[in-house]
Amino acid sequence: MGSTIVALTVATALVFDFTNGFHDTANAMATTIATRALPPRTAVGLAAILNFAGAFISVAVAATIASGIVEQDGVTVPIIFAGLVGAILWNVITWFLGIPSSSSHALVGGVVGSVIAGVGSTGVIWTGIASKVVIPAVLAPFVCGLAAYIATMLSYRLTRRYRAERSSEGFRLSQIASSSMVALAHGTNDAQKTMGVVVLTLVAGGQLSAGSGVPLWVKFACAAAIAAGTFSGGWRVIKTLGTRVTEIQSPQGFSAETSSATSILASSYFGFSLSTTQVVSGGVMGAGLGRKGGVVHWMVVRNMVIAWLVTMPAAGLMGAVSEEAVSAFSNPTVGVGVVGGIMVAILTTFFVMARRHGNVTSQNVLDEDVSTPGARAPVPVGA
Amino acid sequence: MIAASLSEYLPLGDLGKILVTALFVAVVAPTAVSLAIAGLDRRAEAEEHHTSPVAGIALIAAGVAVLAALIGIGLYSLIES
């Protein structure tokens, strides 16, 4: 396989890693920013540093992605490229809409879709998809939501006799620690997923032998890409998770982030690779319900859940279409170049549209009068 | 039947351990923070009444120590995983 097509695919993987970073900044820092525990720019800066550091801690998840989701034998570099295109497009669409969907599921969906289009359904390890992606995706938000609900109730009960500003300050300081743990765990989990894809690409392209470890330059490149994406700040998703699901106070932010960090770290310890987005979203919902008088905006939650359900099939469809488009060219390098060019044009369009329609920045992320297309003014339905 | 089907794809024992861990931390972490907040409150009162702040400082230290232990366990599990 030519080195040009391998280089293009690795570059596309790093673009995905960047979108993963800016899409998922909200996971660690949305509640921290919402409760003003840290200024927005400081929060995303801290998350970027911890994502970078987290990427070097472990490579277990990279191995899962490289070998546990699709059969390595039938996978070619153009197929991986097409899968990445599907994942990137879905990430950018959901970012534009301000919906916290799972980047991990977009990646798995995109690769599975392109593999089905390229080699058929036999190229997919369906038991791996069920045990490593689907079942954890269903269970994780409930586990984290329950823990956050209990933690929030306890937080308010145990501190009700103290002055509000003192307890608020205590929880704000603790929240910095809990959200930092989420950022570190996110770097460990999500940067590794891209490392796994890059390793898969290098193996498929003949640059690396099957079963090889993750080269240091791959670790560094993936860590840098996810950190850069995180630092750019996915303000649209931060706005939804931090202000639109529920009105978050510092005890709730602490409870949501602590429960999320615990769920992610305990799951990683037992070998499950969770979507940090779904875990944190479950935690925010649980924290919203745990405060007396707290209101969860179920219309926003409904949009999020729909996005979760649609993510894998939609990214898979985009991956499959990309694979068909690449394979329509007799020279795969030309096909990858053309599809890559179309992807860049689509991404540019979305970024321009985002600037024109409700441009959310670090300055206005907490303003109520700025809205994104996918998360309009919430309708409170229940407590 | 659902549990039996689920156990084919997911070790239910591990799932139970994850749930227990999440619930354990959901109880311990807010308790630790509330200890520290109580300590801050007592220390402030001691300053106001010109009495010894030792009890307040001890509560703050206990709360921070528990939180630090939780962070340590989290980092350990991250490295071990």
Q: Which residues in A lie closer than 8 A to residue B80 (C-beta atoms)?
A: 269
Nearest-CB residue to A266 (from B18, B27, B79)? B18
Q: Is the Cβ pair A154, B30 closer than 8 Å? A: yes
Q: Is the dihedral of CA A198, A203, A205, A209 positive or negative?
A: positive
Tell which wins on pLDDT, A121 or B10: A121
* Contacting residues for A132 by C-beta, under 8 A, at least 6 apart: A64, A68, A69, A272, A273
Q: What is the pLDDT of residues B19-37, one digit of tens each?
A: 999 999 999 999 999 999 9
Other beta carbons less than 10 A from residue A344's beta carbon: 12
**In this predicted structure, what is the pLDDT of residue A169?**
86
**In this predicted structure, what is the pLDDT of residue A57?**
82
A55 vs A333: CA distance, rounded Å: 30
| C-alpha distance from B20 to closest chain A C-alpha (Å) | 10
Top residue of B6, B19, B37, B71 to mutate, by most chain A CBs within 10 Å, is B37
Backbone φ and ψ of A291, nearest 5°: -90, 135
Top residue of A258, A267, A279 to mutate, by most chain B CBs within 10 Å, is A258
- Is A305 touching B (CB cutoff 8 A)? no
Q: Is the dihedral of CA A68, A73, A74, A75 positive or negative?
A: positive
What tokens were used for A171?
A: 């929880």
Q: Which residues in B lie closer than 8 A to residue A267 (C-beta atoms)?
A: 18
H runs (alpha helix) in A205-297: 216-232, 235-239, 250-269, 276-290
B19-46 per-residue burial string, b: 16 or more CB within 10 A, e: under 16:
bebbbebbebbbebbbbbbbbbbbbeeb
Nearest CA in chain B to A253: B30
DSSP type of residue A365: T
Q: Is the Cβ pair B78, A54 closer than 8 Å? A: yes
* pLDDT band, residue B10 (cuts 50/70/90): low
**In this predicted structure, what is the pLDDT of residue A379?**
37
Q: Is the Cβ pair B18, A263 closer than 8 Å? A: yes
Of A344, A310, A302, A179, nearest to A252 by C-alpha is A179
Of A289, A290, A310, nearest to A298 by C-alpha is A289
Nearest-CB residue to A58 (from B37, B41, B81)? B81
What tokens were used for A10?
A: 């690795």
The pLDDT of residue B2 is above 60: no
Nearest-CB residue to B36 (from A131, A139, A170)? A170
Q: Per residue of chain A (383 residues), what is the pLDDT tens digit?
A: 578 899 999 999 999 999 999 888 877 888 888 888 899 999 999 999 999 998 888 666 656 665 677 887 778 899 999 999 999 999 999 888 888 888 888 988 999 999 999 988 888 888 888 877 788 888 889 999 999 999 999 999 998 888 888 888 889 999 999 999 999 888 888 888 888 889 889 988 888 887 778 899 999 999 999 999 999 877 888 888 778 778 888 899 999 999 999 998 888 777 777 788 889 889 989 999 998 887 888 888 888 888 888 999 999 999 999 999 999 998 989 999 999 999 999 999 998 888 887 678 777 777 766 555 555 544 333 33
Nearest-CB residue to A171 (from B9, B33, B71)? B33
Between chain A and chain B, the number of residue pairs with CB atoms below 8 A apart is 129
* Contacting residues for A228 by C-beta, under 8 A, at least 6 apart: A18, A21, A48
A97 vs A109: CA distance, rounded Å: 19
* Confidence (pTM): 0.85
Of A375, A364, A363, A199, nearest to A302 by C-alpha is A375
What tokens were used for A274?
A: 């969770």
Q: Is the Cβ pair B78, A174 closer than 8 Å? A: no
B14 vs A55: CA distance, rounded Å: 25
**In this predicted structure, what is the pLDDT of residue A27?**
79
Q: What is the pLDDT of residues A249-266, one digit of tens each?
A: 889 999 999 999 999 888
Q: Is the Cβ pair A254, B29 closer than 8 Å? A: yes
Nearest-CB residue to A57 (from B17, B71, B78)? B78
Q: Which residues in A lie closer than 8 A to residue B33 (C-beta atoms)?
A: 155, 159, 170-171, 174, 254
Nearest-CB residue to A159 (from B10, B26, B37)? B37
Of A238, A287, A264, A265, nearest to A27 by C-alpha is A238
